[in-house]
Structure 1
Amino acid sequence: MINTIKEIIFDLQEIKLETGVPRLLRIRPVTNKATVCIGVRRSGKSTFMFQIMQRLIERGVSRHNILYLNFFDDRLHNLQRGPLDAISEAYYSLYPEKKNSEKIYCFFDEIQILPGWESFVDRLIRTENCDIYITGSSAQMLSKEIATQMRGRALSWELFPFSFREFLNAKNVDHTLPFSSKKRLLIQKTFEEYWQTGGFPEVIGLDRFLRIKIHQEYFSTLLFRDLIERHDVSHPKAVTDLAHRLIDNIASLYSVNKLTGYLKSLGHKAPKSAVSEYLEWFEDAYFLFTVRIFDASLAKANVNPKKIYCIDHAMVTSTGSGILVNSGHLLENLVFVALRRISRNIFYYKTNSGREVDFIVQQQDNSRMLIQVCESMSNPKTYKREVKALKEAMYEQNLTTGTIVTFDQEEQIVIHSGKIEVMPAWRFLLNLPETM
């Protein structure tokens, strides 16, 4: 086994790293903590690890100081029977002079398939001079479990599918300020492609048929590997039917009671507790996200209906029936994912008079953003409704600015308490920071 590991170490040191499109997530390693990259399947976590390796090499780190192992490699199958110390033994038998004298950068891809990986990584952190980077599929390395498995010796970073900014980079479209007329038109045209394609790296540039087929494959893999197999679900059809129901109602309100009743109408015997569990599993796999109403009382927030969003708006069109989801819902979903990159504290808001604002976002500096999403403001009734709801929310939250995101309209509305910016989605996405 040790000789096999040596061969694999040598293999990586000789090949050209396939780094793909540079991601805009900037992780910051912390001494004595493993850096863990988590996110939905096929979002580009392994490629991101190669990008980190390339940056280390460009900083002058020798490739001999980089240890990379992908545990889906068939040659490492016997490691599942242990002992994992064979990894460090193989490396230091190649480079004995580096032990305790030079920093080693360890990259472990899909390490979760190895029994006892947590204690192995923990031991490396405590006993060796090394930085450790870990990726893992959502199936066995979910966000909630990292904290318990690594006992505080890990710091997690979320990687989402491509943002619009990253999509522009993938298409080699300049989006730096200032925007000339030509640059703006090119950005708008690329946004139309992003609208159709979504952010999963693998589907960029593919025709519609292949894109839909790949999205549907992702959908099935998420359900069966990350949820049904992993949790040994006794009623897998109930999970599948629930996922389809939520996809068909994206950006809409739901309650556990109604979802339970829906499954019951299909003949499933899933109790409310099981439905609540399924919803938690969807979120932990970075597949579907729940948004609660904004309320200081958690109890009140939990009894109110919640809204559901998907990791990728284009996946919704590829996997949903298309009966209930319209382009306004998809636009709201796109805005949600962009906001989710910069904050976990996202809620929908109801004014004292009962008017709804799509998002209120708590930022790291404790400031708040109010955002309304409206496909078109052309209809005077729609215009009045959207502005009035946002105006009331701004007054109640003592905010002087609010935003309405549309497909292509742009305007500044001056009100008594401040101003409302109406802006097209492409501009809104570029105005947001990439991460917080």
Structure 2
Amino acid sequence: MIIERKEYLNKLITWKDKQLIKIVTGVRRCGKSVLLKMYQDYLKNNGVKESQIVTINFEDLDYEELANYKKLYNYLKEKLIPNKMTYIFLDESQNVDQFPKVLDSLYIKDNVDIYVTGSNAYMLSSEIATMISRRYIQIEMLPLSFKEYMESTGNMNDRGIKYTEYLQNSSFPYALQLKNQLDEIRDYLEGIYNTIVVKDIVHRKNITDTMTSLGRKINSRTVKKYLKSLEKYYIVDIGMRYILLGSKMMDTGHILENVVYLELLRRGYDVYVGKIDNYEVDFVAQNHKGTIYYQVALTVRDEKTLQRELRPLQAIRDHYPKVILTMDEDPKI
């Protein structure tokens, strides 16, 4: 099952042929490679010839030799078509040695449109930003939103049932193909989690080496235990939360807050926690249009709960919108 990620696809279309490197980042298995394939199909359906598209996935052994940056650059240079735009797609580029040099050299050539994916830990690193400063646009990709999950089922009915499935079955696109097989979904998510911890966090950030240099005994297993012990965090997929904390750790209010947080990111907001006097606002969402304040509560049917959620919003003296989000079908406000 292929789910058309319209929001992200439209962003790529908007930036087509602009002289900026398009970098698609996101957690592993959120659909970055599939997004590039969809965009390539769009190009072909809109007048771009196959010869103008160059695609390399560095997880494919066929391209193993191109992990050397000089060989990669020479290979791509030979593929450029004079006087026509060449679209270059480089997938899982964290496997390339000194990759920023390749980007920097391609960028200065005429008629080259570059699209890159990679894991968050690598693509957000300082050397990438330093090498191609002000020359790129970043598109941050997340797993499926609840709306996308609903659309994947074929209709928008039974929201309550599908919301529960969305939380338990995971928002990673491939999990949909496992069709409610909870044991298989759990194994799949554990594989993603272990890969993220070992490859992106422990290895990339050199956590083990850093702690060892301080005279502390530590290994990858110790780091994973530490990461599991954090008391409060927003996680990119609620299904993964279940495999880390267990299904009995059902803090439904915080789960709803997590879902809202991710949705605000998808909608392009910068999101902060608000503090006014002794009160806390769950989310302060800002973009170029202004600010919106959000309180998130599972229910506000109880009068005391309603007043508790209203109080921080009432303490804010500006005129920006102030919203309470709840699962109640019949909210009082």
Change (3 A) 1:168 1:310: same
Q: What aligned pairs does 1:109-188 form with structure 2 within 5 A after superposition? A: 109-142=91-124, 144-174=126-156, 185-188=157-160
- Rounded Cα–Cα distance in structure 2 between residues aligned with 1:323 and 1:410: 28
Counterpart AA for 2:262:
V
Q: Does 1:35 align with 2:22?
A: yes
1:265 maps to which residue?
Answer: none
- Given that 2:273 and 2:282 are in contact with CA atoms closer than 8 Å, whether structure 1 keeps it comes out as yes
Change (3 A) 1:121 1:347: closer
- Given that 1:146 and 1:154 are in contact with CA atoms closer than 8 Å, whether structure 2 keeps it comes out as no
1:96 maps to which residue?
Answer: none
- Rounded Cα–Cα distance in structure 2 between residues aligned with 1:388 and 1:140: 42
- Rounded Cα–Cα distance in structure 2 between residues aligned with 1:160 and 1:191: 17
Unaligned runs of 5+ in 2: 209-217
- Given that 1:351 and 1:389 are in contact with CA atoms closer than 8 Å, whether structure 2 keeps it comes out as yes
- Given that 1:23 and 1:166 are in contact with CA atoms closer than 8 Å, whether structure 2 keeps it comes out as no
1:201 maps to which residue?
Answer: 173
The RMSD of aligned alpha carbons is 2.4
Counterpart AA for 1:68:
T
Change (3 A) 1:380 1:46: same
Residue number among 297, 311, 317 corresponding to 2:242 in the alignment:
317
- Rounded Cα–Cα distance in structure 2 between residues aligned with 1:323 and 1:169: 29
Residue number among 43, 47, 50 corresponding to 1:56 in the alignment:
43
Residue number among 70, 86, 96 corresponding to 1:104 in the alignment:
86
Residue number among 391, 398, 415 corresponding to 2:319 in the alignment:
398
- Rounded Cα–Cα distance in structure 2 between residues aligned with 1:55 and 1:374: 41
- Given that 1:33 and 1:155 are in contact with CA atoms closer than 8 Å, whether structure 2 keeps it comes out as yes
Counterpart AA for 1:83:
K
**Residues 51-105 of structure 1: CA deviation (Å, up to 9, x unaligned):** 110111111211221111111111221223442233235535xxxxxx3221111
Deviation of 1:170 after TM superposition, in Å, equals 1.8
Change (3 A) 1:20 1:357: closer
**Residues 342-378 of structure 1: CA deviation (Å, up to 9, x unaligned):** 34532222332x232211211222x211111111223
Counterpart AA for 1:390:
L
- Rounded Cα–Cα distance in structure 2 between residues aligned with 1:73 and 1:86: 19
2:307 maps to which residue?
Answer: 384
Counterpart AA for 2:168:
Q
Counterpart AA for 1:212:
R
- Given that 1:41 and 1:137 are in contact with CA atoms closer than 8 Å, whether structure 2 keeps it comes out as yes
- Rounded Cα–Cα distance in structure 2 between residues aligned with 1:310 and 1:145: 26
- Given that 1:374 and 1:406 are in contact with CA atoms closer than 8 Å, whether structure 2 keeps it comes out as yes
Deviation of 1:162 after TM superposition, in Å, equals 0.8
- Rounded Cα–Cα distance in structure 2 between residues aligned with 1:215 and 1:199: 10
Q: Does 1:409 align with 2:333?
A: no
- Given that 1:109 and 1:136 are in contact with CA atoms closer than 8 Å, whether structure 2 keeps it comes out as yes
Give secondary structure in 1 for the equivalent of 2:229. Answer: helix
Deviation of 1:326 after TM superposition, in Å, equals 0.9
Deviation of 1:20 after TM superposition, in Å, equals 4.1
1:221 maps to which residue?
Answer: 195
- Rounded Cα–Cα distance in structure 1 between residues aligned with 2:126 and 2:301: 44
Residue number among 260, 285, 291 corresponding to 1:361 in the alignment:
285
2:260 maps to which residue?
Answer: 335
- Taking structure 1 as the reference length, what is the TM-score of the superposition? 0.67
- Rounded Cα–Cα distance in structure 1 between residues aligned with 2:202 and 2:269: 26
Greater gyration radius = 1
1:256 maps to which residue?
Answer: none
- Rounded Cα–Cα distance in structure 1 between residues aligned with 2:305 and 2:103: 56
Runs (4+) of structure 1 exceeding 6 A deviation are none
- Given that 1:21 and 1:170 are in contact with CA atoms closer than 8 Å, whether structure 2 keeps it comes out as no
Deviation of 1:233 after TM superposition, in Å, equals 2.4
- Rounded Cα–Cα distance in structure 1 between residues aligned with 2:271 and 2:43: 35
- Taking structure 2 as the reference length, what is the TM-score of the superposition? 0.86
Change (3 A) 1:105 1:223: same
Give secondary structure in 1 for the equivalent of 2:122. Answer: coil
- Rounded Cα–Cα distance in structure 2 between residues aligned with 1:402 and 1:75: 54
- Given that 2:32 and 2:117 are in contact with CA atoms closer than 8 Å, whether structure 1 keeps it comes out as yes
Deviation of 1:336 after TM superposition, in Å, equals 0.9
Deviation of 1:39 after TM superposition, in Å, equals 0.8
- Rounded Cα–Cα distance in structure 1 between residues aligned with 2:319 and 2:135: 40
Give secondary structure in 1 for the equivalent of 2:234. Answer: strand
Unaligned runs of 5+ in 1: 1-17, 93-98, 175-184, 251-307, 414-436
1:65 maps to which residue?
Answer: 52
Q: What aligned pairs does 1:55-94 form with structure 2 within 5 A after superposition? A: 55-81=42-68, 82-88=70-76, 90-91=78-79
Give the total of aligned pairs.
316
